[in-house]
């Protein structure tokens, strides 16, 4: 997932630069789309991303931000590329728990994964120790019970 998102980020950044140089995009000449809901807009964006129509999806997010300012699409001060990466990640990992992706790191993914595995093992060991402590405390005598006779 990290590699896929990194590749998508690079492609979106390149498309952003290409759009900035193209007068048609600067003047907002992309086709005006009208959506009835944010869900429909997101589905359309995901389809554009899937089909590698990056110029269209970048234009579309700008339109969605004007239709729904400061909503799920963010505002004009937010990075369009990051917003699109978030949508894509959420869509790709729908129904999966514990999924994460590292994007834009200068370290190799192998080094990062190794370090995360080490940290995961340390956390697991701490949880195991804490659980054994809890079990031990379950067997301590109850101080509220008074003396018993034979």
Model pLDDT for residues 57-83, shown as the tens digit of each residue: 998 998 898 888 888 998 888 889 999
- Supply the pLDDT for residue 97: 80
SS3 98: coil
Range 104-115 average pLDDT: 74
Of 14 and 107, the structure prediction assigns the larger pLDDT to 14
- C-alpha 102/C-alpha 113 separation (Å) is 10
Quickly state the pLDDT bin for 27 (edges 50, 70, 90).
very low
Chain centroid to CA 127: 27
Tokens 């995961």 locate to 120
61 phi and psi angles, rounded to 5 deg: -70, -35
- Angle at Cα 147 formed by Cα 142 and Cα 148, nearest 5°? 105
- Supply the pLDDT for residue 131: 81
Number of residues that make up the chain: 150
Q: What torsion, rounded to 10 degrees, do the Cα atoms 78, 80, 83, 89 define?
A: -150
Range 32-51 average pLDDT: 87
Poorest-confidence range of 13-17, 44-48, 145-149? 145-149
64 phi and psi angles, rounded to 5 deg: -65, -35
Tokens 């999966």 locate to 96
Chain centroid to CA 136: 40
Residues in CB range of 73: below 8 A, 6 or more apart:
38, 41, 61, 64, 65, 83
Q: Is 62 exposed, middle or buried (0-12, 13-18, 19+ CB in 10 A)?
A: middle
């Amino acid at each position: 997932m990290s590699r896929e998102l990194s590749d998508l980020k690079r492609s979106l950044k390149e498309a952003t630069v290409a759009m900035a140089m193209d007068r048609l995009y600067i003047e907002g000449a992309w086709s005006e789309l009208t959506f009835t809901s944010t869900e429909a807009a997101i589905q359309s964006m995901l389809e554009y991303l899937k089909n590698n129509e990056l110029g269209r999806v970048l234009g579309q997010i700008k339109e969605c931000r004007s239709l729904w300012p400061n909503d799920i699409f963010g505002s004009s001060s937010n990075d369009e590329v990051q917003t699109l990466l978030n949508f894509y990640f959420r869509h790709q990992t729908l129904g999966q728990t514990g999924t994460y992706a590292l994007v834009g790191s200068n370290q190799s993914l192998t080094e990062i994964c190794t370090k995360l595995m080490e940290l995961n093992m340390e956390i697991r060991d701490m949880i195991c120790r804490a659980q054994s402590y809890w079990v031990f405390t379950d067997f301590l005598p109850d101080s509220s019970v008074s003396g018993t006779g034979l």
